[in-house]
Amino acid sequence: MPQKKPLVVVTRKLPDAIETRMMELFEARLNLVDRPMTKSELIEAVKEADVLVPTITDRIDAAILSQAGPDLKLIANFGTGVDHIDLASARQRSIIVTNTPGVLTEDTADMTMALILAVPRRLAEGERLMRAGHWHGWSPTFMLGHRIWGKRLGVIGMGRIGQAVARRAKAFGMSIHYHSRKRVHPELEAELEATYWESLDQMLARMDVITVHCPHTPATFHLLSARRLKLMPAHAYLINTARGEIVDENALTRMLGRGELAGAGLDVFEHEPAVNPKLLELDNVVLLPHLGSATLEGRIDMGEKVIINIKTFADGHSPPDRVLASMF
């Protein structure tokens, strides 16, 4: 007798190729309208599903999981970060959580490097000026920015993405510095010619550009607090393609407005999708709508990892991208 297909509830619209494969392999319930599920809809989903496939827009908290039915045994997250899932509650209920590590590294690193280039060279500001019809020709002192060649880049979090950004930045002639929970292997340090800083405060005070690549956890909430942001030199730039909650957005906005920082490139925000309205008024900030991993290739790779995790689990094996207990 054929094995019963698991009921898989997908919370957002995914690429067509991924949804088609899910329909072939599982009893898949898709989100055809592509809007975030309400809390009541998520509760209904966890009551019925064998597998839930959420995204970053879904807050799978303890209240949601307390309503989970007995059949929910896997949350196969579509994405790498799992800070929107209450991992402790999932563990208490013997619900396995998986993610999609590794596939977004190059895309996010590309976007980070784009912001590292765009902010000091005032690219977004120049583009807005052109569209407004305010350009009246070249002049020697018009819209001068700053070169990045020879500047110091401080990487916060030297994981996969941090390393990929460091490689790109080194090719652009930047000096690589980093602060991370664990120091990387000496061979990698030598390859990147990277300087390790045990003290984040000391590194912040000496860099020209800071880029954020650590995960959002209770320990990293407002890691870049008002106090730490004030350690940065006034000529420095902040780039964040990780999670908005890592940076005190209100403090950052105030400092940018006062000229206490030269500029920022932000792809993530503390209260997404809401953005501090005062940020929108600043010319020295490049704002993007969470595009760091937004490539078709990346989304398909994410979906394929989700499918592998579900299929492996349904076949009675441990899924390859299980979020380990040590991460709780």
* pLDDT tens-digit readout, 233-252: 999 999 999 999 999 999 99
User: Within this chain, do residues 310 and 283 fall inside the same structural domain, yes or no?
Assistant: no
User: Within this chain, do residues 261 and 123 fall inside the same structural domain, yes or no?
Assistant: yes
- The residues annotated as belonging to the active site are 243, 272, 290
User: Within this chain, do residues 80 and 213 fall inside the same structural domain, yes or no?
Assistant: no
Which are the contacts of 271, defined by CB distance < 8 A and separation ≥ 6? 244, 249
Secondary structure of residue 75 in the 3-state scheme: strand
- Tokens 């890691």 map to which residue? 223
**pLDDT confidence tier of residue 2, bands split at 50, 70 and 90:** low
Q: Tell me if 112 sits within 8 A of 165, measured CB to CB.
A: yes
The fraction of the chain above a pLDDT of 70, given in percent, is 98
Range(s) of the domain holding residue 210: 105-287
What's the rounded mean pLDDT across residues 264-291? Answer: 96
What's the rounded mean pLDDT across residues 291-319? Answer: 96
Strands 209-212 and 237-240: parallel
2 domain-assigned: no
Q: Tell me if 322 sits within 8 A of 96, measured CB to CB.
A: yes
User: Within this chain, do residues 170 and 47 fall inside the same structural domain, yes or no?
Assistant: no
pLDDT at position 115 is 98
Beta-carbon neighbour count of residue 211 at 10 Å? 28
234 domain-assigned: yes
User: Within this chain, do residues 93 and 40 fall inside the same structural domain, yes or no?
Assistant: yes
User: Within this chain, do residues 263 and 123 fall inside the same structural domain, yes or no?
Assistant: yes
Classify residue 263 by burial, with Cβ atoms within 10 Å: 0-12, 13-18, 19+: buried
Residue range 169-184, pLDDT digits in tens: 999 999 999 999 999 9
87 domain-assigned: yes
pLDDT at position 4 is 87
Q: Tell me if 275 sits within 8 A of 250, measured CB to CB.
A: no
pLDDT at position 144 is 97
The gap from C-alpha 266 to its chain's centroid, in whole angstroms, comes to 11
